[in-house]
Structure 1
Amino acid sequence: MKLIVQIPCYNEAASIGAVIAAVPKHIPGVESIEILVIDDGSTDATVDMARAAGANHIISNTGNMGLARSFHTGIETCLQLGADIIVNTDGDNQYCGADISRLVQPILAAKADIVIGDRGGFSNPHFSCFKKTLQVLGSFIIKKMTKLNITDAVSGFRALSRHAAQQINIVSEFSYTIEMLVQASAKRLSVVSVPVATNEKQRDSRLFRSIPQFLYFSITTLLRMYTMYRPLRVFFTLGLLALIAGSIPIVRFIYFYWLGQGDGHVQSLVLGGTLVILGVFTLLAGLIADLINFNRRLIEKMLLRIDQLEQQLASSQGESKQGIVTEQTDTTDKPQPKIGRIK
């Protein structure tokens, strides 16, 4: 059983060493533990510090691609490196590395595909009251929409089995946390939460500039992903609302027409008819979107099968690490990290 801890980071020279040092060296049930650092175009000494701290692999983006892109790059690299379990943690040392062993236990016990680290909500001593409220309320909404038993939806401290990682395809540019949960719900993956500890806050988040911006990006991402993976439910709801709204002025017109006063209420008929037509077209759009969604699922299954066949072929030829460019920067006996980009 091979575990790879991936750490997306941007200008984290001050903390990346502590993050790597906190990763457990041994976990019962895990034979191999490796560390992958995804450097998102850092302009400081993040790569040098990660190398000195003992990172096994380092991937460097040519520029700042964003957290979601870096996360997805890390997942693809971990799969190429033969990971059976992937743990994602942040480079700012927010999460306690010792809890990695707690994260992977449900996967080792075959009780979950994805494990989310719960930072404690209102009981977290390192969060402000506003952040605690925002976290609990947002997680409650996402829990209801996805029907997953989660308590901290935006926690970046999470573990994935290889089976889950092969099925998660992050397409948003803001963050991967919400999109992963929507996909997990749509693909019937098992998701559980486990309590984890956090370290004292060292700096403000670089993912967003303000709380309103964070809310805007989070809400739009949730709605976009939910519509992508649950199109029939979304369009059916909108179409039904339009039909109900359109039927009210039509009934009103019929009522006055029955009383012989229909001439003065033609506008109700026009408005109602417009809304009914809009509702019908929305329902039809929902059917088309659901067919597209069905075709996308078929394509994803084909890509998953192709990936599995490629991994089997590479394994049989002893080339499971093909696709990672390595750069040795030292001639000493100490193992050096692999630095490069996916070809």
Structure 2
Amino acid sequence: METIQRTHVTDAPPLPSPWRDAHVAVVVPTYNEAGNIAELTRRIYDLEMPGIRLIVVDDDSPDGTGALADDLAGQVNESHPGRMVVLHREAKEGIGRAYVAGMKEALARGADFVVQMDGDLSHRPEYIPRMLGTIMAAQAGLVIGSRYVPGGSLSAQWGRHRRLLSRFAGIYVNAILKLPIRDVTGGFKMWRREVLEHIGLNTVRSDGYSFQVEMNHLCEHMGQSIVEIPIHFEERRADSSKISLAVQVESMLTPFALRFGRRRRG
């Protein structure tokens, strides 16, 4: 059984009250993240944010991630009931569907702000207070942790091919949708509750990583303010990338569908 060990976070500046007391839900889809889930959970609860809740959405991970998350939730909820939630899905339906399930759960539990982030530790939880401060100060609808604004950076372990592919994806999407976003495919975001409610999560079409592009497009189409803050993007820890050919094809077609197609009915 994994245990949560407390550590001191040196780069998470505390927010003043009542900002730091905001109801924030962090949605983390997982598939084979047994090597990461305990550290991710520990680092989220090390943040000086008493109103934070973690929602893990596990797609029946063969490595037992879901069971480990249940054990961790038991520890967290023993002293703070309901502060960690684990959703178990019976099949791997795509990261987009996992995010929708987690976001709907967050809204149902009263979250004012919803964070989406990967479960592989490539996104540092220590940026969450900065994202919260930004979204509240700027009255933004969406804050994106960006690799491609000044001050943002990528892991040195990323090779030239991956860097070029990531850059090309952004150029490709923005050539079609013309979004005012530099890191249009990034998956580390904080949403304001009202924006997710207005978008209508049941109408989101994307199953894979194109979910990021679709949500950005819908937010911008609503006229909501979108702010990017710089982050350092770490190399993922443990296991390997899960991007299939079908996901890549969906990612190529989605920008055209968003520009020229119609939205799915709720």
SS at match of 1:105: helix
Q: In structure 1, what is the Cα distance between the partners aligned to 2:46 and 2:112?
A: 17
Shift of the alpha carbon at 1:24?
A: 5.0
Identity among equivalent pairs (%) = 25
Q: Contact between 1:136 and 1:151, CA under 8 Å: does it hold in 2?
A: no
Q: Contact between 1:114 and 1:192, CA under 8 Å: does it hold in 2?
A: yes
Query: Amino acid of the residue matched to residue 135 of structure 2?
Result: I
Matches within 5 A, 1:95-106: 95-106=123-134
Query: Amino acid of the residue matched to residue 178 of structure 1?
Result: V
Relative distance call for 1:44 and 1:15 in structure 2 (3 A) is same
Is 1:159 matched up with 2:190?
yes
Residue 136 of structure 2 corresponds to which residue in structure 1?
Answer: 108
Residue 200 of structure 1 corresponds to which residue in structure 2?
Answer: 235
Residue 173 of structure 1 corresponds to which residue in structure 2?
Answer: 207
Q: In structure 2, what is the Cα distance between the partners aligned to 1:116 and 1:81?
A: 23
Residue 224 of structure 1 corresponds to which residue in structure 2?
Answer: 257
> RMSD of aligned C-alpha atoms?
2.4
Q: In structure 1, what is the Cα distance between the partners aligned to 2:153 and 2:207?
A: 31
Is 1:12 matched up with 2:33?
yes
Q: In structure 2, what is the Cα distance between the partners aligned to 1:6 and 1:215?
A: 23
Q: In structure 2, what is the Cα distance between the partners aligned to 1:26 and 1:66?
A: 29
Is 1:130 matched up with 2:161?
yes
Q: In structure 1, what is the Cα distance between the partners aligned to 2:180 and 2:130?
A: 18
SS at match of 1:192: strand
More helix by share: 1
Deviations 1:122-148 (Å, cap 9, x if unpaired)? 942232212212222322343354443
Q: In structure 2, what is the Cα distance between the partners aligned to 1:146 and 1:190?
A: 17
Which deviates further from its counterpart, 51-60 or 141-150? 141-150
Relative distance call for 1:49 and 1:132 in structure 2 (3 A) is same
Relative distance call for 1:191 and 1:24 in structure 2 (3 A) is farther
Structure 1 stretches of 5 or more lacking a match? Answer: 230-292, 301-343
Q: Contact between 1:118 and 1:194, CA under 8 Å: does it hold in 2?
A: yes
Deviations 1:264-291 (Å, cap 9, x if unpaired)? xxxxxxxxxxxxxxxxxxxxxxxxxxxx
Q: In structure 2, what is the Cα distance between the partners aligned to 1:147 and 1:120?
A: 16
Q: Contact between 1:24 and 1:98, CA under 8 Å: does it hold in 2?
A: no
Shift of the alpha carbon at 1:173?
A: 1.8
If asked which structure has higher relative contact order (CA below 8 Å, sep 6+), I would say 2
Residue 22 of structure 1 corresponds to which residue in structure 2?
Answer: 43
SS at match of 1:6: strand
Relative distance call for 1:24 and 1:193 in structure 2 (3 A) is farther
SS at match of 2:261: helix
Q: Contact between 2:40 and 2:121, CA under 8 Å: does it hold in 1?
A: yes
* TM-score (normalised: structure 2): 0.77
Count, aligned residues: 228
Query: Amino acid of the residue matched to residue 190 of structure 1?
Result: S
Shift of the alpha carbon at 1:174?
A: 2.0
Matches within 5 A, 1:1-343: 1-27=22-48, 32-54=51-73, 56-120=84-148, 123-124=153-154, 125-168=156-199, 169=201, 170-175=204-209, 176-202=211-237, 203-208=239-244, 215-228=248-261
Q: In structure 1, what is the Cα distance between the partners aligned to 2:140 and 2:124?
A: 21
Q: In structure 1, what is the Cα distance between the partners aligned to 2:59 and 2:183?
A: 25
Residue 10 of structure 2 corresponds to which residue in structure 1?
Answer: none
Query: Amino acid of the residue matched to residue 68 of structure 2?
Result: M
Query: Amino acid of the residue matched to residue 34 of structure 1?
Result: R
Q: In structure 2, what is the Cα distance between the partners aligned to 1:17 and 1:26?
A: 15
SS at match of 2:133: helix
Query: Amino acid of the residue matched to residue 67 of structure 2?
Result: D
Q: In structure 2, what is the Cα distance between the partners aligned to 1:74 and 1:50?
A: 14
Deviations 1:36-65 (Å, cap 9, x if unpaired)? 101112222212222333461111112222
Relative distance call for 1:24 and 1:198 in structure 2 (3 A) is farther
Q: In structure 2, what is the Cα distance between the partners aligned to 1:126 and 1:52?
A: 32
Structure 2 stretches of 5 or more lacking a match? Answer: 1-21, 77-83
Residue 263 of structure 1 corresponds to which residue in structure 2?
Answer: none
